[in-house]
Amino acid sequence: MKLAPVVAALDVRGSDVVLVHSGQHYDPMMSDVFFDELGLRAPDYHLGVGSGTHAEQTAGVMVAFERLLETLGADVVVVVGDVNSTVACALVAAKAGVTVAHVEAGLRSRDWTMPEEINRVVVDRISDFLFAPSPDGVENLLAEGRPPETIHLVGNVMIDALLANVERARRRPILRELGRIEGAYGLVTMHRPANVDDPVVLRALAGALVEVSKSCHLVFPAHPRTAHKLEALDLGPDITVIGPVGYLDSLALQAGARLVLTDSGGIQEETTVLGVPCLTLRDNTERPITITDGTNQLVGREPRRIVDAALSVLANGVEARKPALWDGHAADRIATALLGE
């Protein structure tokens, strides 16, 4: 979702874009479906790294990408987000003396237990182009001493993808297939280890979801590993657990929901632009603009707080707000900066 608009914006300007897939996300529902639905061409190279520990995965990408980079003669390596592939490719490029551009720079949760936070800070320190999605990202980068001339406030490429695809998503049959109608259900997504790997935490969160579901039916697309853990819990009749969904179905489910409960960073952004109330099941967020200028609330993992916030949103809704520059043209600004236009 972050890469497709950037590739399109560079392609239309006649740039020679080489697309590299690390293989970190290799399940068809976490990879292939996004290429298909976003109209993103097949990767020119696939590193095939696969799963493993953080060290194994990062090292695997670095070894494979270093060999490839030696043959490409690249002027710039563009990395997106905050996953292990992001930091691995950025490190390889920086050590090879190749310009590094980071899309989604400057986001900070200040939670060092999150591997993503370490990745963000490292990548931003070694990048030559820092493309921030929001003013708080610019402030974070300046506070960390990054040169002002390297920082570009461009907006959010996730929103480029959303605005280009949301109407197509609304035409998907997923609500009909689930027997749901728009505005008559809530959406749940959870994937972070802090929420789904600890049985005590997961049981408490499930209890909160059951309470919320008594007032609003919930749809919960779950990774098979999470779904297996949920089978041991009594979720009651008003929570529908389904398998992972593709990008368009995810947008359709968000757009039609009365509220969303999530631990995802991207969904905090998407719900803000869709005007859908979002309750984030975390104690911090690297996207505070979705709170100050959006529809998001941090509710943590304490069940009573989650239930009270959900019932309040169901009764009163939230004010629809959208950050500046989240207008569908972030990728154009990125391409302009990279090409010096």
Instruction: Kindly list the catalytic residues.
Output: 191
Cα–Cα dist 274/251, whole Å: 9
The CA–CA distances, whole Å, from 107 to 34, 89, 112, 123 equal 24, 19, 13, 11
Amino acid at 19: L
Q: Per-residue b/e over 233-248, b at no fewer than 16 CB within 10 Å?
A: bebeebbbeeebbbbb
Longest dimension (CA), the chain: 59
Cα–Cα dist 249/247, whole Å: 6
CB count, 10 Å around CB of 29? 15
CB-based contact 111:192 (threshold 8 Å): no
3-state secondary structure of 92: helix
